[in-house]
Amino acid sequence: MQTIGLIGGMSWESTAVYYRLLNEGVRRRLGGLHSAKVLLHSVDFALIAELQRAGDWPAAGDVLAAAARGLERAGADFVLICTNTMHRVAEQVQAAVSIPLLHIVPPAATAIRAAGLSRVALLGTAFTMQQPFLREQLAAEGLQVVVPGADDQALIHRVIFDQLCRGQIRDQSRADYLAVLDRLRDCGAEGAILGCTEIGLLIGPQHTDLPLFDTTGLHVNAALELALGDG
């Protein structure tokens, strides 16, 4: 089993889900008392969020690159950035280490194509929805991406930072997100990418019949395949 390096803390609410799913996945595959070999560097999200707001992505990338180098020195065989938004600096992080960075987009794209879909909505932080770093990669994977309108983007972003990253799960916010999904369906979306690692804390397949692709779980599955030699 390879050692998985996690760059987390953005937010720790979803990083905890990564850790749980990795261990559940190893136990399911190997049985007994097996658990995942994991190294975690958890950053102070307040600093990263401030750099995001300031648009200082190179400085934010420096923080994650330093974390990746530390994980490599500690023995990680590959690393994951446990957040969609910070894949904005994925190339900077990969350039800092000699071990692979397992990107969050390919597992999602593979799952979407396997479901026979080609036009999907993207929910995430305002940075993820407005900037091209994920949309362009999804397009390169042959997918058409639909993003919410400006008001819905503001709502989604606010709920992520003001509630989900703080451990607050509210029924009204779930209803608001589901209403956004309905509007995206009306715009031709065949499914939706939960393109923020916290969104799966709020909505899931039990809440809508629109196919959902949770990047957190898909990222974890890809990590398990690599760590256990399945992919």
80, β-bridge pairs: 6
Among the listed residues 15, 82, 83, 85, the single catalytic one is 83
Break the chain down into helix, strand, coil percent, rounded to 5. 60, 15, 30
Rounded Cα–Cα distance for residues 162 and 177 (Å): 15
* Residue 83 is among the residues annotated as catalytic for this protein: yes
Round to whole Å and give the CA distance between 131 and 85: 10
Check if the beta carbon of residue 125 is closer than 8 Å to that of residue 131: no
Active-site residue, 110 included: no
| Separation CA 208–CA 198 (nearest Å) | 17
Catalytic pick among 15, 125, 165, 196: 196
Of 174, 176, 124, nearest to 145 (Cα)?
Answer: 124
Catalogue the active-site residues. 83, 196
